[in-house]
Amino acid sequence: MVKKSFDIDNAACFKENVDIEEAIDEAGHARYNLVLLVTCCVINIGAVMDMLGYSLVVPAASCDLNLTLEQSGILTSISFAGFLFALPWGYVADTTGRRRAILVSAAVGFVLSAITSFSTNFYMMLILKFIASSFSTASMTLTITYLGECTCKRHRSRYLFIQNVSCLGADFVCFVMAYLFLPLEFAIPVPLLTTYKSWRLFTLVMTLPLGIGALMMMYLHESPKFLANKGDTEEAMEVLRLTYKANNGKNAGEYPVKSLMKTDREEATSFWESVVKQTVPIFKPPLLWRTLQLFLLFSICCSTNNVFFMWFPTMVNSFFTSVNEDTSFCQKIVANITPVKHDDVCTENSSMNTIYSGMIFTLFFTVLNIGVIAFANWRRTLTIGSFLISGISCIVVDWVYDSIGSMVLFIMIQFTGLCFGSVEAYYVDIFPTSYRGLATSLGMMLARLSCLGGVSLVGANIIDNCRLTFYCWAVFVFSGIVAAVFLPGDTTKKEKSAEES
- Report which of residues 102 and 229 the model is more confident about: 102
Confidence of residue 465 (pLDDT cuts 50, 70, 90): confident
Give the span between the Cα atoms of 177 and 198, in whole angstroms. Answer: 11
Give the span between the Cα atoms of 67 and 122, in whole angstroms. Answer: 7
Residue 186 has pLDDT above 60, yes or no: yes
Residue 6 has pLDDT above 60, yes or no: no
* Other C-beta atoms lying within 10 Å of the C-beta of residue 472: 14
Mean pLDDT, residues 256-273: 64
pLDDT, tens digit, 9 for 90 and up, residues 384-440: 999 999 999 999 998 887 777 887 888 889 888 888 778 878 887 888 877 777 787
The amino acid that residue 494 corresponds to is K
Domains, the chain, ordered by start? 16-251 (1.20.1250.20), 282-337+351-501 (1.20.1250.20)
Least confident of 2-6, 147-151, 304-308, 387-391: 2-6
Count the helix, strand and coil residues of the chain and give each as a percent rounded to the nearest 5: 75, 0, 25
Q: What pLDDT, on the 0 to 100 scale, is given for residue 477?
A: 95
pTM of the model: 0.71
* Other C-beta atoms lying within 10 Å of the C-beta of residue 298: 26
Give the span between the Cα atoms of 462 and 13, in whole angstroms. Answer: 66
- Residues of the chain with pLDDT > 70, as a percent, come to 80
Residue 159 has pLDDT above 90, yes or no: no
Closest CA to 408 of 420, 421, 397, 422: 397
Least confident of 60-74, 130-144, 227-241: 60-74
